[in-house]
Each structure stands twice: as structure tokens, then as C-alpha cells.
Structure 1
Amino acid sequence: MPDMNLILAGTGSDSLIFACALIGALGLGAQWLAWRLQAPAIVLMALAGLAAGPVWSLIFGDPLLNPSSTFGDLLRPIVSLCVAVILFEGGLILKFENLRDAGAAVRRVVFFGGPLAWLLGSLAARYAAGLDWASAIVFAGVMVVTGPTVIMPLMRQSKLSGRPAQFLKWEGIVNDPIGALFAVAAYEVIRVASHGDSIVGAGVWILAAAGIGVALGIIFGLGISRAFRAGWTPEYLKAPLIFASIILCYALAEQVEKEIGLVAVTAYGMTLANSKLADLSELRKFKEDIAVLLVSGVFVILTADLTPSIISSALNINTLLFLLVMLFVVRPLSVWIATAGTLNRKEALLLGWIAPRGIVAVAVSGLFGSLLVDLSREGRFYFSGADQIVPLAFAMVFTTVVLHGFTIGPLARKLGLARSEKPGVLLVGANSWSVEFAKALKSVKIDVIVADSNYRRLRPAREAGLDTFLGEVLSEDAEIRLDHSRFATVVALSTNDSHNALVCSQFAPEVGRHRVYQLSLSEGDETDDKSVGSSARGRTLIKRGRTYDGLIRDQYRGWNFSRTRLTEKYTLEQYLADRPKGDLVAEIRPDGTLVLLGPSREARGGDGATIISFAPDQQPQTSAPAEEPSSSDPKVGEPQKA
């Protein structure tokens, strides 16, 4: 077996190629493992980099992956470009209308709580962690960020609802670029001061440079929007053009002032997000793919570049004290003071505790940590805490993800802030049949959301008073805007069977493969060589051979949904005898459990069970019992149109 360390010690090009391949394999492998295990990807990516870097060097003497040695002077520009794309992505989901809808509490946390957390965090980093003032101020600016990619899974896991859920979601989205901008401003002042220039004059110039960066980003955003609307760019070039323009925008802003490029690309993303560009939803897919690749690479590079000595020096009482102060003093105080009068006591208690750090926090910390190390080598001052920024950032990530992940559910339930009602159903694909099915579910008090990417197709659902989601449920945008705590079952009912299979594959790890459904492939056999394999599909709804086309045909023939409550006198056997034709679609068991029927999932019946069927409009032959339930319930033994 070849010695990996000898491979890395080969020629420069061979070493570089191997390092790039290893970074990609480790990063994407960690992302895949996180998806399979439903574990935080940020933790597994960090562990992958640690294994290839400091852990490998402890065992074998030299690291398997040494980014500083392999990439040399290219390392910082590579990380800077990756961070620029990550911040562009953060700006791309920040719409001003969303900030208006986020509520007073979020706005106060952003505009007042953010600077307060920066101030308190700087004190904690200086006196608890023992960093020098420069490193402490830069690092604390980044720690204002709470990651939406970490928050969303925690909210789904805890079934958090109402104002607390909205607060955590929008705080993470809005603070992503703001925390990075805090760090940019602090670093620029420190950089200028370290070279002996006037701080006042430097401050004025930095503000001017930041303004130029913002203007440049806005110009790029408006220019791309105009080009796409006017049809100046073919469809196949739009996504590559966006990516290339991010790099160009960053590079031009860097010519004005170092690190102002981060400000420019953030403004670029925000401009596009608020441009109401029709193509934006299609471009997000490409952007998400690139962002996943770059995020994976950055995490592996940053952790692999740590040395055992840096890690051991960070594992001390100061680090523990810093974590305790950040968790139990800085976060609660900044939230409580900023939101006084807008949150009740229970909400303030929960939100003052939950603040997991995510991707942006670590990526930006790694960038500015390396920049401060460079300043120490070339300037008049030595920043003793610069090399501790990355270990401290990872300590915050590991601690907050683990602690908040395990405590958010029990704490939300203890405080009465978790969703108490049973989660409902997400129907993906709006059409005449799915809308009627949704109305039938709603009539028996099952929470239901109808999702579709087409506004016109959702119109009947909106007119029927159903909750709707406009957008592609497979996109990252849906990860943020769609309330995943509201459903525990997914039914894919679009006209595209391959898309239905993708939806089921996407949601299966989250809700369980036994809770994702789609219609049969064809009216003949269940298998179809031209379609996706059954192993990649959801469970079959209704029965084999019952396809979308057949259901729509029968609906035009007059079939409709009805619901019937069974009793001891009117049993399932009598119900089936009265309705030889038709499909049994769902059963609500006496305990309120929803069961979607299909192969190997037959109705059980029983006193108090309710059957939802799709059948020709007809009255039962057997006389129903005389009891009359309340008007909100289905009549006993009698089908009711839903």
C-alpha cells in the first residue's frame, strides 16, 4: 500500500491534485454521511478535516492534508473567494419584505441586539478567552452570526412554533451578512492602525470604501437583473454568468480596499434577492450546488490546517470560561435587553438560550484569523490571539450545536412553546384532485399544506382557504420558508413521476420512508423500465395501477371525495359492501392517527374511525344509525362530500 505522506511529498502538481481530490472527497463525503445519519453536517465536516490534519499527524508524524504547505500563498485567496460566495448566498435570501414581516423582536435584535452582542462578546473574548483586543473585537463580530442551516433542523426536531420559531429563523437569515460586516469593519480599522496610519482618517476612508463596495454590488445586481429581463443572456449561460460575476465583483472591490469585496458581494446578493427576478428561483439550484461544494472545502481546509499545538493550547480553562460566558451571559443579556417588551418571559428564556453557530461563523472566523496572523508578521503589532480564533470558533460550533440540539426540544415543551397539535400532511403538486384531497383532509381537522412552484395552479387551493406554499420544495429556499414542523407526512402528487420520486427521496430521511407517498407509475404493472426504480420511490398511495391520469379521468366523470365515520352498528364490512366501486384513500383511526391507504396498508375500521374515499357519488344501501353528530363531524354511516 503506498504511503500517503510520500504521495503528498511528491511533485508540486501531484501534491496539489491529490489535496484537491482529498478535500472534495472528505467534504462531500461528510455531507452525504450527515444526510444519511440526519446529523449536523457542520460537525461531520469539521471532524473530517481534523482527521486528515492534526489527528493524522499525531498518529503518523505528518498530516495527510496540510493546506498551508500545499497551497502556499494561494490558500488565503482561495478561502477568501469561498467566503465571498458563501456571503453572496446569504445576501441572496435576505429580502427586505421578509425583514418587515419578521416582527419587531427580530428587527430590534438585528439593529440593537447585534451591536450589543458584539460589545459583550468582545469583553468575553478579551477577559475570558484571553485574546488580545484586536482579535477579540474581530472574533466577537463574527460570533453575532447564528446559522440558519443549523437552526432549521433544530426547529423541525423540536416542533417549535409561533413567534419563537419565526424569531430564530429570521435572526439567522438576517445576521448572516451582518456579523461578517462587523468583522470586516473591525479588521480594516485594525489593519490600518497596525501600519501607523491615523485611526480617524482610516475610519473615514473605510466608510467611504464600504460605500463604494455597496454601490459596486448594487450596480452588479441591477446590471444582471436588467440583462436577464431583456433577454441579453441565453438560459444556459445565466448560472455560470452569476458565478463569474461574483468573482469579478469581489476582485474589483478588493482593488479599492482589502476585504471590501465581502461587502460588495453581500450587497450584490441582496440586490438580486430584492429585484423580483423571475429567473432567480432557477438560478438558486446552481448556486446551492456551488455553495455546498465550497462550504465543504472551506471546512475541511480550516480544520485540516490546525496543528496539534494550536488545538492543545485552545483546550484550557480560558476556553471553557469563554464558552460559559457566551452561553449564559452574552446571549441571554443581548436578547433580553434588545427585545424587552416584545417577548413574553417564556419566549425570552428560550430565545436567550438557543443560538447555534453555523457555516458562516466558522468560514469568516477562519478567514480573518489568517488575516490577523499575516498582519502580525508584516505590521508593528503582534496579535497573540489570532491563531486561537479558528479553534475557538469550532469550540463554539460544537458546543452550541450539541447543547442546543439536545435541549431545544425538552425546553420548548417544558415552556409550552412547542407545537401541541399533531403534525399534518404536505401535498406537493397542486391540481384538481390534490386540492379536493386537501379539502377532505382539512374537513377532518388534519393540518395540510399544498405546495407548488406555479402561482396559477395554487389559485384553487387558496380560494378554498387551504394553506399553500409557493416554491420548489426541493430548493434551499424551501428549507428556510417552509414550516417543516407542521407536517410529518409527504404526498407527492405532481404530474411528473420523476419529480415525485425526488420529493420522496428528499423528505424520507426527515419524516421516515414509511411517511412519503406517491401515486402508481402506470395503469398496468407497478414497475416501469422507463421510470425511476421502486427503491427510490415513495410508498404507493391507494393501490397499484391507480395513476394520476386515471384519477383525473374519474374526477371528470363525477367521482368525488367523501368521509364516513364508522360505528359498532355501521362497520367497515358494511361500508365496503355499500361501495363496491371507488378507492379508499385514507383512514383516521379513533385515536386521531392518519393512515394513508395502499398496498399492505388496508383500513382497519372500528368504532370512531373515519374513512376518506374517492368514489362515484352515491348513497349507501344500508340504513345508517339514527345518531346525529355535531355539524363539524362527518355523519355516522353516511358519506359526506368533502
Structure 2
Amino acid sequence: METAQVGFTIAIALAAGVLAQSIARQLHIPGILLLLAVGFGLGQSGLAWIDPNTLGAGLFGIVDFAVAIILFEGGLNLEKSRLRRQELPILQLITIGALVTLFGSSLAVKLFLGWSWSLSLLFGSLVVVTGPTVIAPLIRDMRLRPNLKTILEAEGVLIDPIGAVLAILVLNLTLTTQTATVVHEMVDLTYRLGFGILMGTLGGFLLGGILSVRYLVPSGYTNIFTLATVFLLFHASDHFISQSGILAVTVAGMVVGNLRTPVDRDLREFKDQLTILLVGMLFILLAADVHWEDVMGLGPGALIVVGALVFIIRPLNVWLSTRNASLSWQERAFIGWVAPRGIVAAAIAALTAGVLEERGMEGGAELRALVFLTIALTVGLAGLTARPMASFLKLRLGKRDRVAILGVEGLGLMLGKEFRERGVNVIFFDSDPKRCSEAEKEGFPVVFGDALQERTLLRAQLEFVGTTIGVTTNEHLNSMFVQQAHALFQVPQGYVSLEPFDGEKIPEHLHPHDGKVLFERPHDIERWAVRIRHHDVTVEHFLFQPKTEPDEVSTDSPETETLVKPTNGNAERSVILTIIRKKTIVPMHFKFELKNLDLATVAIYKPEREQALAHLAKAGWTVPTPLILEELLPQPHPPSPIEPSHTRPSTLPS
């Protein structure tokens, strides 16, 4: 019966956690708020469906597992190059800032709740952390300035292991009053930090090295292999020096994330999903163990403590930590405003309260209740006000209304001209100085260099780009360019050109991971580049008006699965470049669902124009009248200029 109760508790927590986060995502509210409410409702203060006490010591095993995976996943997302640019404020926030929060919060509890100094310091150590599980969802779609986003994300990941180790140190000091033991604990703190960093670095390089060797880990096993290794690293570190594992897995995540292993993308997606599952379950379990009577018993002094933490201690923390950093007052104000507490604070609070209760010491229930009240209020405040605050302080980026094209020559340049004519900003990437010069003569901003390197992408301000297009003769380069833009700058749309091949369907190995196949089918990019250089290509508009009889509709319609055919004959007489629908222009791509009266921009090979027109007519394309063309085309107007300082700095060699 007890085993059945344990299984039921975990099953309810898992299901309720995922459901609560799904609903929160749909409602655009912080998931932790709903998780706390559901946990209270299902716990001892509500329906009593969940009783974490039935798990016994197993609860802390679950906490260890979840925290290890969550912090490893957080470390995976920290790019070394981004951290280096904001190194000073990040370092000071997790050192000076942590101490300010520790002592400021402790003083507030002592003054307004009258707790003992030992219990006050315990609370101060528990609220030092913020956490990636609350920061990342909060700023995901906010489009903050890159430096601001980096600082908040890095602080959330790095402060968690530091805060956890600090909380354990304070707990151990609370349990003893001997001076020798105090000195011993301080020495142990140094060992924990150093050993955790060492184990995390070694473990990260070892794991990354294994994942980088093809076929060493069988296909399909990489994610579970990583999961097992991370958990082993966590407990192996703790086995040698207690409480060092939490820092070790964080550092290991950073190392693996920056090694760019071949399974990097799949690994990140798997960890994201697993983190959502674990965060939901853990918050439900921990919140269910908090009694509403304990929260209400704190009195109004608890609200004053949280208010002091939000409106006095956090701003003071940020001001002292960033006073010599190159941040504007608006950026400092926003960092000071956004500091929600997350899963690590809840987990360590539950652990600390349990230890105090086991030792027969008072204050465990009140400490846990105050930490959960702090989590609820700080997450609620940040979730409701962070977006409007960022807008008020003018820290959010503009719309993603630009197009970035890799490959100046041929069809790439034609695409750029079509977008520019319809008022869309276009920026080119290329590593050939001559082609870059030609594009600049055409009036386009160009970034010269390796488009796969982050420093090259940074010069193009990809945070303003909504569409990337890879249209070189190198399929792998096209795909990697789109993937890098999405991974580093979250560019939402990507298109890649493919070279011709035999067969009727795109082979699986040619499917781009993060991009749609450009044009209506793969084309010989080099052949079209030669034709365009010889002025053998014209650009014309065509209207899609398919025949009504189903048996007469051509199988070459882009809506069919068997669109792609051997690219000889008709296939290389024309290329559908763009589609204009409701006066909005988009690149043509494989499987684009055409609608009646869609307007296409088509590149046509002049020597075979008549054959190309016949082929287009068979597929449902007609030549529009001037009146219809004027009605469907967006009014041509020049796009807003892109600031030259961000697009032409040493773009070309002298």
C-alpha cells in the first residue's frame, strides 16, 4: 500500500506539473506561479492528494536528481563569448551581490520578524539565488538587449550553485557554535568550490570528447548517456567532497555547451524537455509540503521583509556590483528590478527545514514558508511587470524586419533586390572581397568574413533579422549559417538552397535541420550565377490561377510531396524567387502552400523563355495584367537605412 502511495504521489506530481506549465504557457504567465498554486491545492492545505512525506528520504534523492539536470541544462546555454563580453558585472553580481543579499536579507528578517541571527542568516543564504528556471522563461520572448539578456541568464545559472553551497555552509554553522568548527567549515567552503570547478571542468571535457567521437556512443543513446553521466558526476563529486556536485554539473554544462559537439542541438532539446518535466514535478512536491497556516502565521512582517528584498536590497546589490561596468542607468534599473527566486531556493529550503526538524530545532516550518512566500511574490512581480518595465526603460529591441542573405552572387543578389524593392532591409554575408564590393556598389550593406563565426554574425545585428537565407553552392554552409543564426540569435525563419539531385523526393540526408528548402525545387546555383553574369536572365511576375479540374492540375504544384524532380529540361528554365500575398513578400520554398492570386517573382532564362512560360502555364501560372499587377504589388519604397557603423566596420580588406 505504501509503494502504491509513493507511485501515486509521483504520478500526480508529474502530470500536474506538466499540465500547469502548459496552461501557464498558453496564458503567458510565469509557470512557477501556477505550479505553486497547484502544489498548495493538491497538498496538505488543499485536497491532500499529494503527501511528500510518503516519499521519505526519497524526496531528497528526487531533489538531487532534478537540481543536477536543471543546472547542467542551464550551463549548456551559456556561451563563452557572450560571458566574456559581460565578465565584470556577472562576476561581481555572483560575489559582491551575493554577500549584499545575504547580509541585507538577514538584517531585514532580524528587524521585522525578530528571528534569531542563525535563522535569519539561513533565510538570507536561501534567497541569494535567482535561477535559470524562472529567468529564462521570463525573458525568452522579451527581446532584450543582448548584453542585458546575457547578464540575467548568467547570473541565474551561476548564482544557484554558489547560493546552494553558501546555504549549506550557513546551515552547518547554525548547527554548531564551536570556533574550530567554524574555521573548518570556511576551509571546507573553499574546497567545495575548487573541487566542484575542477570536477566539472574534467567531467565536461570528458563527456564532450566522448560525444564528439562518431559512433562511440550508439545513435539514439546520446541523450540518456549524457543524463546518466551528469547524475554520476553530481554524486561522485558529492562523494569525495559534500555539496560540490551542484557546482560540478553547472561547470560541466558550460564546458559541453561551448564544445559544440555533433549532438549539441538534440542534446539541448532533450534537456529542455526534461527540465520542464522535472521543474514541474519538483515544485508540485515542494509546494505541497508547505502549510497555509505556516504562511499566514508569519504575519505582515513577512511582506515587509520581501518588500525590503525587492525594493532596497536587490537595487543596492546591483548598484554596488555594476558601478564600474559599462551599463546605462536603465539597464542597471532593470537588472535591479528582475530577480525572481526559483527551484534551487525551494529545494534547499525544503532540505534545510527538514534538517532543522530532525535536530529538534525550531523555525524550520517558518523558514520554508517565508522562502516560498518570497518565491511566489518575486516571481509574480517579475512576471507581471518585467515586460512593461523593459518597454518603459526602452531596453527592448525593435522588430525582426530584416533579411540576411549568405551569398552575394547570382540568385542571392536577385533575391536581395526583390526584397529591397518592396521596402525590406537586406544585409549580405560573403567571404569573397570582390563579390562584397559588387554588392556594396549595388547599395547593399555587406559583412565580410566567415558567416559561421559569432563575431561575424554580431556585426550584422542579427537580433533585428527575422529571416536568414543561405544561397551559396555549398549546401552544408547554407544549413550551418541558418542553424547558427537560430541558435545564437533566435532568428525565427531560415531558408537554404539545395543543389540538384536525381529522384523525386528530397533525400533525408539533405533535409536541413533548421531551414526550409529555398525556391520551388533545388536548382543549380552556379549555373544561374553564370547566366546572370552574362545578362541572360530576366525577372518577371506571374499570377497563380490553378485550373479547376483536379485531373488537369500539374503535379509540379509546390503543394505536392513529389514536387522535386531531376533538374534538367524545364526545371532550369525558371526559378520562383518570392511570393507576394496580401502585399507581403516572402521567399518561395519547397512545399509552400500556394493560394489563388498569389503573385510570384520569377527568374527566367532568356534563351528558353518560351519553353519556360509554357511550363509555368501548365503549373497554373499566368501573366497578370498591368492593372492587377499594380493592385497586388506593394508600393515600392526604399527601406529604412541600416546604421553603417554596424554593417561596414572593416567589412572588406584594404
TM-score (norm 2): 0.66
Per-residue deviation at 1:79?
1.0
Aligned AA (1:241) = F
Counterpart Cα distance in 1 of 2:297 and 2:89: 39
Asked if 1:548 is matched to 2:521, the reply is yes
Which residue does 1:68 correspond to in 2? 53
Tell me the amino acid that sits aligned with residue 52 of structure 2: P
Which whole-Å CA distance do the structure 1 matches of 2:413 and 2:247 have between them?
48
2:198 paired with 1:215: yes
Is 2:385 the partner of 1:404? yes
* Residue 307 of structure 2 corresponds to residue 324 of structure 1: yes
More off after superposition, 320-329 vs 550-559: 550-559
The CA deviation string for residues 149-184 of structure 1, in whole angstroms up to 9 with x for no partner, is: 5545655655433xxx41243332244232331331
- In structure 1, the residue matched to 2:268 is 284
Q: CA deviation at 1:97?
A: 3.5
User: Structure 1 residues 430, 371: CA separation in 2 closer, same or farther (over 3 Å shift)?
Assistant: farther
Q: Quick one: which of 45, 49, 56 aligns to 2:35?
A: 45
Q: 1:64 to 1:603 in 2, by over 3 A?
A: same
For 1:174-208, what per-residue CA distance to the aligned partner results, in whole angstroms no more than 9, with x for missing partners?
44232331331232343254145521122213322
The equivalent of 1:608 in structure 2 is none
Q: Percent identity?
A: 21
1:424 counterpart letter in structure 2 = D
How far 1:329 moved relative to its partner? 1.2
- Residue 370 of structure 1 corresponds to 350
1:306 is paired with a residue of what secondary structure? Answer: coil
- State whether structure 2 residue 447 is matched by structure 1 residue 465: yes
Which amino acid counterpart does residue 327 of structure 1 have in structure 2?
V
Question: Could you tell me which residue of structure 2 aligns to residue 21 of structure 1?
Answer: 11
Contact 2:404 2:427 in 1 (8 A): yes
Q: How does 1:339-488 map to 2 (within 5 A)?
A: 339-343=322-326, 346-348=329-331, 350-357=333-340, 361-379=341-359, 381-384=361-364, 385-413=366-394, 417-420=395-398, 422-425=399-402, 435-436=412-413, 439-440=416-417, 443=420, 446-447=424-425, 465=447, 486-487=464-465
Hey, what does 1:191 align to over in structure 2? 172
What SS is found at the alignment partner of 2:144? coil
Structure 2 match to 1:298: 282
2: CA distance, partners of 1:342 / 1:260 = 30
Amino acid in the other structure paired with 2:167: A
* RMSD across aligned positions (CA): 5.4
TM-score (norm 1): 0.67
Q: Residue 407 of structure 1 aligns to which amino acid in structure 2?
A: P
Structure 1 pair 461–34 and aligned structure 2 pair: CA distance change class (3 A): farther
Paired amino acid for 1:176: V
Q: Supply the distance in 1 between the matched residues of 2:318 and 2:230 (Cα, whole angstroms).
A: 34
Q: Report SS of the residue matched to 1:219.
A: helix
**Which of 2, 12, 21 is residue 2 of structure 2 equivalent to?**
12
Write out aligned runs for 1:164-203 (5 A): 165-197=146-178, 198-203=181-186
Question: Which AA in structure 1 matches 2:272?
Answer: E
Count of matched residue positions in the alignment of Structure 1 and Structure 2: 545
Asked whether the equivalents of residues 450 and 467 of structure 1 are also in contact (C-alpha less than 8 Å), the reply is no
2: CA distance, partners of 1:408 / 1:584: 41
User: 2:408 touches 2:428 (CA, 8 Å); kept in 1?
Assistant: no
Is the 1:250–1:265 Cα contact (8 Å) retained in structure 2? yes
Contact 2:83–2:150, Cα closer than 8 Å, also in 1: no
Alignment of 1:134-283 (within 5 A): 134-148=118-132, 150-151=134-135, 155=139, 158-161=142-145, 165-197=146-178, 198-229=181-212, 233-236=216-219, 237-275=221-259, 277-283=261-267
One-letter amino acid of the counterpart of residue 308, structure 1: W
Q: Distance in 1 between matches of 2:111 and 2:270?
A: 44
Give the whole-Å Cα distance in 2 for the aligned partners of 1:409 and 1:617.
Answer: 53
SS of the counterpart of 2:337?
coil
SS in 2 for 1:259: coil
Q: Is contact 1:147-1:173 (8 Å) kept?
A: no
Moved more, 346-355 or 175-184: 346-355
Q: Deviations over 1:191-242 (max 9, x none)?
A: 2541455211222133224433433333323333444455683233433222
Q: Structure 1 residue 83: deviation in Å?
A: 0.9
Q: CA deviation at 1:298?
A: 1.1
AA aligned to 2:349 is: G
Question: Is the partner of 1:235 in helix, strand or coil?
Answer: coil
Structure 2, unaligned runs of 5 or more = 440-445, 498-504, 509-513, 536-540, 544-572, 610-624, 627-636, 642-654
Quote the Cα distance in structure 2 between the aligned partners of 1:25 and 1:434: 51
SS of equivalent to 2:522: helix
1:333 aligns with 2:333: no
Whole-Å separation in 2 of the counterparts to 1:30 and 1:427: 38
Distance 1:318 1:431, change over 3 A: farther
Task: Quote the Cα distance in structure 1 between the aligned partners of 2:410 and 2:17.
Answer: 43
Does the aligned pair in 2 maintain the 1:450–1:468 contact within 8 Å? Answer: no
2:101 maps to 1:124 = no
Q: Which amino acid aligns with 2:344?
A: V
